[in-house]
Amino acid sequence: MARKSSGKKITALTAYDAPFARLVDHAGIDIVLVGDTVGVVVQGGDSTLPVTMAQMGYHTQIVARAVRRALVVGDMPFLSYQVSVAEAVRNAGRLLQAGAAAVKLEGGVRMVDRIEALVQADIPVMAHIGLTPQSIHRMGGYRVQGRDAPDALLADAARVAAAGAFCIVLEGIPMDQAARITASVPIPTIGIGAGPHCDGQVLVLHDLLGLSTRRPRFARPYANFSGLASEAFAHFKRDVESGRFPSEDESYR
């Protein structure tokens, strides 16, 4: 709330392992999201749908070990909260036991009872509306949301805020809609493919580092780790084949 009123933008990045989580935290990023995007950028899948609670608990645990100051948010995977309120509370609690300080779940008005129950159980909730990747089959793929029914997004935002969410991820919506939502709710909005008018921004780590095979339009690559890694691997291969590695200094006597 204070960050929203102050106008200082919130920064968030995903992380799925300890080395990258440590680097993200050291850079001063505000929120480290252990995203179910692990199913795509780490596991090599086509969607986030196959990701399990056990996998999210594992990745949350190893990320939380490395983070000292940022807020660690654990993503609730498909079917971990949709089945019932009781299941939602139980599984969110498992992510907190793994080291998360908050959880994220997808959906607006339809998920209000889940958000209310989690907040009642002292589990902070980050909401997520707009393009919700766990609903890609209903949405017909990864499509920009809100162009045809902008008032529905406003209603989603208002309801999840009233239910007790501490912030809202706005994904894949027109920037004018994101601006309207941001101005209409008392809690911060975190954009991803939602334009510059949100209270903060989140990106998938692999998109930012140039490691993704399919980078979305909204993700700016700030580095080319893929190129650096390929060059290093090729250099290693040449050195081994030529006998330049290992040297005497890299060997034991």
Is the pLDDT at 1 greater than 80? The verdict is: no
Residue-level pLDDT at 226: 96
Amino acid at position 194, single letter: A
Residue-level pLDDT at 148: 84
Residue-level pLDDT at 146: 87
Mean pLDDT of 81-99: 98
Give the H or E element holding residue 63. Answer: helix 53-66
CB 172 within 8 A of CB 194: yes
CB 105 within 8 A of CB 128: yes
Q: Who contacts 137 (Cβ-Cβ below 8 Å, separation ≥6)?
A: none
Residue that the structure tokens 């990701």 belong to: 51
Nearest one of 134, 186, 208 to 5, comparing CA atoms: 186
Share of the chain above pLDDT 90, in %: 89
Residue 107 bridge partners (DSSP): 128
Is the pLDDT at 236 greater than 90? The verdict is: yes
Instruction: Tell me the pLDDT tens digit for each residue of 205-229.
Output: 999 999 998 889 999 999 999 999 9
**How many whole angstroms separate alpha carbon 160 and alpha carbon 181?**
12
Strands 10-14 and 71-75: unpaired
CB 60 within 8 A of CB 34: yes
Residue-level pLDDT at 140: 85
Residue that the structure tokens 């700016």 belong to: 220
Domains of the chain: 2-222 (3.20.20.60), 225-253 (no CATH)
Residue-level pLDDT at 11: 98
State the catalytic residues.
171
Q: Out of 90-94, 110-114, 145-149, which region has the weakest mean confidence (pLDDT)?
A: 145-149
Which string of b and e fits 85-119 if b means at least 16 CB within 10 Å? Answer: eeebbebbebbbebbbbbbbbbbbeebbebbbbbe
Average pLDDT over the chain reads 96
**C-alpha separations of 92 from 98, 113, 186, 248 in Å:** 10, 14, 24, 53
Is the pLDDT at 149 greater than 90? The verdict is: no
